Chain A
Amino acid sequence: MPGWRKVPRVLLELSHITKRFPGVLALDDARFALAAGEVHALMGENGAGKSTLMKIASGLFQPDAGEIRIDGRAVRLSGPASAKAAGIHTVFQELTVLPNRSVAENLMIGREPVRAGGLWLDRGALIRAAQRILDDLGIPLEATAPAGRLSTGQRQMVEIARASAQIPRVLILDEPTSSLGRAEEELLFSLVRRLSERGVGIIYITHRMSEVFALSDRITVLRDGRYVLSGATADLDRTALIRAMVGRDVAEDRHGTADDDLPVVLEVERLARGTAVRGASLSLKAGEVLGMAGLMGAGRTELARLIAGIDRPDSGGMTLFGKPYAPAGIGEALARGVAYASEDRKRLGLVLPLSVADNIALPSLRRLAPLGVIGPNRIAGFARDWMERLGVRAAGPGVAVDTLSGGNQQKVALAKWLATAPRVILLDEPTRGVDVGAKAEIYALIRQLATDGAAILAISSELPELLQISDRIAVMAQGRVAGILPAETATEESLLDLSFTEAAETAA
């Protein structure tokens, strides 16, 4: 063990940081200190101010008050470029991968290899350097692939590769695993460990307890923009942590009961599209939550998109309430009572510059304004009701969605679809980036919707979550449903086992 591990050197220190946005005090005298070589988890509820604090450390926001010290010296970070110059690299919660550029160009942005004194970009070197970064990290991507075609998880890996390849002194990861699959998660964890051994200070934001305990050396908790506590991970336990974040205890128990007698609402038969979905069959029942597990690329989202009318299947068919169902678009699916809350809220879920109220009301306008005339009070009331049900934390229904914290945006995206009163609800990673307290509320809401008779398909990569909310759990592997287990008896191991089913075994 090198000596510096015993006497941690403080790399980055944020003290007395205050940041006010119109109508919100996002940070109120917050503090945070990061030592070299440590993995430091930053935790707190949605809207607690975690991302804002990290954006201040990344030079993206200027604090209204407070001090930033690097190696003990007070600095001013005037922009992202100056933070990078100080060795602070960040993977932001909102992905910044440029869709119109290749993976290589994304990885090397701002430091493209040049010849002739900067007069000539060296494209060959650019692609080689990028490919080397990907290969070194074990990320199975082609450097020349267009980034716009990558899945959310792959884009997240590109971000991580970009930040970590720049020899950071401080690496900030803001919910880096929110859309990663298990294999990629493992890659990220080993990368984090490797970097911390080299003395890089790592700030890790996540809502997943298991990651915090597996990875971090220290934990700092924020609540309502204020510093609550900071301590060694070994000295903290789950309950204490949740109490520090939420200010109360949160119940976490299983509900599921598989019931064979429930009426089938939606029957999916041997649906196929391209290489992603290769003959998937399942049935959704009224009053039941069907969880859906599977590895990244197993075809879960692609299947949901087929059911939601976003894509058209190559073959196979569906029946809804006994009638043939082949939606030509999202509109038709919605009209027939099928709603899909996407995993990608930035691209499919939300109109970011519009207000929370407008976003929530958008798909329900036909119902709210039957004559085409929109009453703003009616919409605000409608939205306020749904904001309350999901615990959306915002100054009011009139604020623009892009000013909400990531987790609160997720709740709005969810509210928007639930508000259409659908009879079949497809939820794709419904609690991505949502804090423990709010998760419990969303779980309760999902259960309530099922009890009220909706048929629910809930896709999630978090197995504990699936076990908690589902009645039955379908596992997808290589484009097919590899098996369906009752949630009561399923375990994380049995689900994982099924996820690794090879195509040949499910071909039957």
Chain B
Amino acid sequence: MKPARRQMADYGLAAALLVVLAALMLLSPAFRDPANLIGIGRQVAILGIAAAAMTFVILAGEIDLSVGAVASAAAVVTAIALAEGYGIWALPIGLAVGAGFGLLNGLLVVYVAIPSFIATLVSFFIAQGVALTLTGGRTILFDAEWFRQLFATGVFAGNRAAFWWLLAVALLMWWLLARTRFGANIYALGGDAESAGMLGLPVARLRLAIFTLTGALMGLVGMILIARIGNARADGAIGLEFDAIAAAVIGGTRLGGGAGSMPRTMLGVALIGILNNGLAILNIDFNTQQVIKGVLVIAVVLIDRWARGGREVPE
């Protein structure tokens, strides 16, 4: 039993997506080429996975500014491991780097009681430092066709591997969030952390799990990144944190926690992906694309506030 406004906001995002899609299809034959449309799915893989993780973090009332730097560090370490001939062992190594930074975030937030904004900023600097030290500012080249196929370029059932990784992660995260007690607890934590503690929820363990999971997913993002382009740089994924936050917020995730959902975040990801792709095809330059993203975030936030009745004072 949702009020009409709320429902409109729920569908509003999907409607906006369809409008943008239809407009771009009318405007550009190159855009409506099926190969291009399918391609969007893998173009948003990295953003999508990061946004899925960020949705968890924001829902729990936290923020993670380190995702781009951690993904970059994991990418560099994985590339070095591949270049040094570690072969399949490069995968657990890359994941462990990501999960390790995530755990560090969690430990800082839970046991040192540092706000996540600061804690993940610390990790951001450490991860950047590690990546820069390891690369010495150079680009790391590696030669592992199997790796590139597995994480990005291989084609399965009509789409690239990167897309399938996104789909798998999105489904996993949806299930965790919407269909497990873990997910219910995350909503509770984001709704009111103090109450959650008084209710006996394992607040510390939840926070550790959320940050560690996010870190591990950034390991995966790092691997997809280098598999796609075939080399690794220390700043490979820097800036990803802001795109991930933007996608989650466009999807209706409330900063501060407690409200949002995985399907809606994915709609936000799709909207950004379609816009980026379409605007690039229409030869609109990157800077203008950034401005459009900014306008989009504001529009969505305003619509969301309107849908919630626009009241600042609680009833």
Contact = CB atoms under 8 A, between A and B. Distances in A.
Interface of A: 59-60, 79-81, 83-84, 92, 94-101, 105, 109-110, 112, 114, 118-121, 142, 144-145, 148-149, 310, 330, 344, 347-348
Interface string B165-187: 00000000000001111011101
How many B residues are at the interface, by size bracket? 20 to 34
Given A98-B191, A101-B187, A121 B180 contact: yes
B315 A149 contact: yes
B201 A110 contact: yes
B314 interface: yes
Return the 9 tightest CB-CB contacts between A and B, nearest first: A80-B200, A96-B195, A100-B258, A100-B191, A98-B191, A81-B200, A96-B198, A121-B179, A347-B314
Contacts of A83: 200
Interface of B is mostly: helix
B113 interface: no
Contact of A96 (B192, B259, B313): B192
B1 A144 contact: yes
A330 B200 CA distance: 37
Interface string B187-198: 110111011111
A144 B1 CA distance: 8
Nearest to A276: B315
16 contacts: A59-B200, A80-B200, A81-B202, A84-B200, A98-B188, A98-B195, A98-B258, A99-B191, A100-B187, A109-B184, A114-B180, A119-B179, A120-B179, A121-B178, A121-B179, A121-B181
B259 A98 contact: no
Contacts of B258: 98-100
A112 B192 contact: no
B199 interface: yes
Contacts of B188: 98, 101, 105, 109
Given A92-B198, A109-B201, 10 more contacts: A60-B197, A80-B199, A83-B200, A96-B194, A98-B188, A98-B191, A100-B258, A112-B181, A118-B180, A119-B179
A348 B313 contact: yes
A112 to B, nearest CB: 5
Contact of A120 (B180, B190, B197): B180
Contacts of B313: 310, 330, 348
Contacts of A149: 315
Contact of A97 (B190, B195, B201): B195
Contacts of A112: 181, 184
A101 B180 contact: no
A119 B180 CA distance: 6
Given A119-B180, A149-B315, A109 B199 contact: yes
Contacts of A120: 179-180
A169 B85 CA distance: 62
B192 A110 contact: no
Interface string B147-179: 000000000000000000000000000000011
A105 B190 CA distance: 14
A105 to B, nearest CB: 7
Contacts of B201: 81, 109-110
Nearest to A96: B195
B117 to A, nearest CB: 17
Nearest to B195: A96
Contacts of A330: 313
Nearest to A95: B195
